[in-house]
Amino acid sequence: MTIEAPPEASAKVPANSLLTSPILPTLLRLTLPNAIAMVGTTLVAVAETAYIGRLGIEPLAAIALVFPFVMLTQMMSAGAMGGGVSSAVSRAIGAGDRDRAATLALHAVMIGLLGGLFFTVVMLSFGRQFYMLLGGRGGVLEQAMQYSQVLFSGAVSIWLVNTLASVLRGTGDMRMPSATLIGVAIIQIVVGGALGLGLAGLPQLGMRGVAAGQLIAFSLGAMFLAWILVSGRSRLTLDFRAFKFQRVMFLDILKVGAISCVAPLQSVLTILIFTKILAGYGTATLAGYGMGSRLEFLLTPISFAFGVASVPMVGMAVGAGMVARARRVAWTAGAASGLVVGLIGLIVAVHPVLWVSMFTSDPGVTAAAYSYFAWAGPAFAFFGLGTCLYFASQGAAKVGGPVLAGTGRLLLVALGGWWLVSIDAPAWALFALVGAAMVLFGLGVAASVWLTRWGN
């Protein structure tokens, strides 16, 4: 049985609407700005693909090589380590200790700097080898390197934007991070397109120009968020002059963030392994899967929006000793995410033409995409549930179970896919495997939340 905080524990917590307001309306209010920001991120991907396409086929193939590593950078800094930052800050605020929250934020900045430098060193040193392993050769490889070298030379800016945004989210402020990310998206589209294509009299820098647009946008975003936090315009004010290294602060963030970093690796590996398996079934089948996975990619921000909104609500409730409320927040967010994502999955399972017809009329590709949605679409609800509960678990600093559930999904896809290929199973069996892996992930995360004790 969960025990709420005694009156004397609650008395020291300052008035905080996230601890007292009705759960669902508050959750939806926090989710909306995140959802809008995620739409902006999606538009960037569409716009960038469009103007890279004008540069030629080789640049399009090159961006496909670099994309998994760009996504890994974003997912680790925003959803994984960023979740650890938001969790630590929100738990401190929930406990009524704003000084600790501000100190945690300063340590988070250090982690962001180190994380960005790590990606810079790794990708500048081994990027070519990574892209060659994925099949990059000749002109495609050189185009990938042009984009990669510019972008990852400034990986610190990406990490700082997502780290500082996570600090603000940990205070319950979703509007400022979302507005900043929308601004970053607009700058990236305009500057990247102008430099890449040589618009408005600017030199045409090709892939280097496209990457420079992203680098400039995130650098400006990092400086803006830093100014917001230092100038006293946020719910926390950072004073870098008062910074003192405290090992316990790093541990508070890393006990969630470091473990959470395994999850993006699992996601990328799952996609790469399954893509490799399906490549043996022919171009049409692989393209059909691509139609499905593209929708899956666009639905992820919905779960992200609900999940990120739940982190400060759960974290503050746990910090204040209100564990029962924290659990209600988690299940409410998970149910909402699962319902929205699952409804879209059911719609495309019954009427796949609504999505597929926007991209292709090829009979082989269409048939493969229809098969994918018929088998995997009904399982989207479990994916939405599991992804959202993963973030809620970050808020409670209990992320081990959800990460293990992700490991189960990865193993099922890898081992199950290998076995199906060995018996010459039809493509629909592999699509059914994708659905089964989503169900396993969703139920696994839900079971871990149900069974894990939250609070001290």
pLDDT digits (tens, 9 = 90+) for 304-321: 899 999 999 999 999 999
DSSP 11-67: HTSPP-HHHHS-HHHHHHHHHHHHHHHHHHHHHHHHHHHHHHHTT-HHHHHHHHHHH
Single pTM value for the model? 0.84
Of 176-190, 233-247, 420-434, the least confident: 233-247
Q: How far is residue 72's CA from residue 75's CA, in Å, rounded to a whole number?
A: 5
Residue 15, pLDDT score: 53
How do residues 263-300 score in pLDDT, each as one tens digit? 888 887 887 787 778 777 877 777 777 777 767 777 77
User: If you average pLDDT over residues 111-140, what whole number do you get?
Assistant: 90
Most confidently modeled range among 164-173, 278-287, 348-357: 164-173
pLDDT classification of 4: cutoffs 50, 70, 90: very low
Residue 1 scores a pLDDT above 70: no
pLDDT classification of 10: cutoffs 50, 70, 90: very low
Share of the chain above pLDDT 70, in %: 96
Residue 137 scores a pLDDT above 70: yes
User: If you average pLDDT over residues 388-411, what whole number do you get?
Assistant: 93
User: If you average pLDDT over residues 56-71, what whole number do you get?
Assistant: 81
Residue 71, pLDDT score: 83
Residue 209, pLDDT score: 92
How do residues 146-158 score in pLDDT, each as one tens digit? 999 999 999 999 9
Residue 115, pLDDT score: 95
DSSP H or E segment with residue 380: helix 380-395
Helices (H) and strands (E) in the chain, counts: 19, 0
Comparison of pLDDT for 435 and 65, the residue scoring more: 435
Residue 437, pLDDT score: 94
Residue 402 contacts residue 448 (beta carbons within 8 Å): yes
All residues at 6 or more sequence positions from 72 whose CB lies less than 8 Å from its CB, including other chains: 264, 265, 268
User: If you average pLDDT over residues 36-62, what whole number do you get?
Assistant: 78
Encoding tokens for residue 142? 């050189």
What mean pLDDT is reported for the chain?
Answer: 87
Residue 33 scores a pLDDT above 60: yes
